Amino acid sequence: MLGKLIKHEWKNVSKVGCLMLVFVVIVSFFGWLAFQSPLWRGLAEDNYYYAGINPWDIMSFFTLFLYVLMLAGVTYGIVIYTGVHFYKTMYTDEGYLTHTLPVGKHQLLVSKILVSGIWVMLVIMAVIASVTLLILSFVGVVLPEGYTVGWFLGRLFQEVDTVVRELRQEMGIDLMRYLTGLLFSVLVGPFVSVTTIFGAISIGQLFTKLRVLMAIVSYIGIMICNMLINSAVRSITMAAHMNEWISDARGFDRYINSTVDSGNIIGIVMAALLYLVSWLVISRKLNME
């Protein structure tokens, strides 16, 4: 039954998910268009004379501002949409069908978390790809004549490789480990986010009135708890590595890595607890209005 649940959930969520991906493509196009302004092209010229601001430049800045705003919107938008979809299919009239299906509660939750998490991840990856392409298009515009983006990328990877090696050899800082931690956050983060939101929505259902408001309040409470725990762990880690940090760059490395690791672990533990809360609510405390 899990496969069937995932199939139908995918069908439902993918409509909005695909729309958001298309939106990212359109926004990216406008971002690229913004860098076609003479202002940016002029940066590549040695004897560029700035003749004052013109409407084309204003449009360029405004488009870039909108680009940032839209991408931030789409990133939050997909997370909010998955939350709304979860609420709608679990706790409103549509929940009458969802909860009378002959499927287990774990199957229900897993299918929703899996599909929503994948879509959040896809949209985040699309946003990362868009920003990367925009940076490359900017580089393409400002590079002096005779240089290509390919040349730039080749040099960049060479330099990064050198920096990574030198950081490790000279200062004992393992940049790759840090990046691995970040990549793990990007991959696991979407599932942690949706599980947290679903948990907050489920907590809202424990109240007899104002359930949506209580879900929002619960989410804010959970986020505050998460930040407090993270801050406490960071402070303890910082205090523990302070002496090393002052005397040795490895202390800083350990601090940064342990910060990323603890952030990931705290997020996963909280998501696991909130999954349990959601499961308890739908299996023992379900009260459809």
Partner 1 sequence: MNELIEIAGLTKAYDSKHVAVNNITLSLPRGKIIGLLGPNGSGKTTLIKMMNGLLSPTHGNIRINGQLVGTDTKAHVAYLPDRTYLSGGQRISAVLDYFCDFYLDFQREKALSMLQSLNIDPDMKLKTLSKGTREKVQLILVMSRDADLYVLDEPIAGVDPAARDYILRTIINNYNPGSTVLLSTHLIGDIESVLDEVIFMRYGHLVLYTSVDNIREQHGKSVDAYFREVFAC
Report yes or no: 64 and 33 within 8 Å, Cβ to Cβ.
no
Q: List the one residue from 2, 10, 12, 140 that touches partner 1 (CB under 8 A).
A: 12
Among 56, 58, 93, 153, binds partner 1 (CB under 8 A): 93
Q: Is residue 244 within 8 Å of residue 254, measured between CB atoms?
A: yes
Contact between 99 and partner 1 per CB under 8 A: yes
Q: How far is CA 53 from the centre of its chain?
A: 35
Task: Rule CB under 8 A: say whether 211 interacts with partner 1.
Answer: no
Residue 18 touching partner 1 (CB under 8 A): no
Distance CA 113, CA 145 (A): 49
206 binds partner 1 (CB under 8 A): no
Contact pick of 132, 148, 243, 287 for partner 1 (by CB under 8 A): 287
Q: Are 215 and 204 in contact (CB under 8 A)?
A: yes
Give 176's Cβ-side CA count (13 Å radius): 9
Q: Is 104 in the site for partner 1 (CB under 8 A)?
A: yes
With CB under 8 A as the contact rule, the residue among 95, 189, 199, 267 that binds partner 1 is: 95
Q: Contacting partner 1 (CB under 8 A), which of 97, 144, 170, 246?
A: 97
* The two structure tokens encoding residue 217: 């309040």
Does 185 interact with partner 1 (rule: CB under 8 A)?
Answer: no
Among 47, 100, 169, 247, which residue interacts with partner 1 (rule: CB under 8 A)?
A: 100
Distance CA 115, CA 14 (A): 9
Q: State yes or no: residue 131 binds partner 1 (CB under 8 A).
A: no
43-50: long-range pairs with CB below 8 Å, 24+: 43/141, 43/142, 44/141, 44/142, 44/143, 44/144, 44/145
Q: Is 41 in the site for partner 1 (CB under 8 A)?
A: no
288 binds partner 1 (CB under 8 A): yes
Residues that bind partner 1 (CB under 8 A): 1, 4, 7-8, 11-12, 15, 93-97, 99-104, 208, 284-288
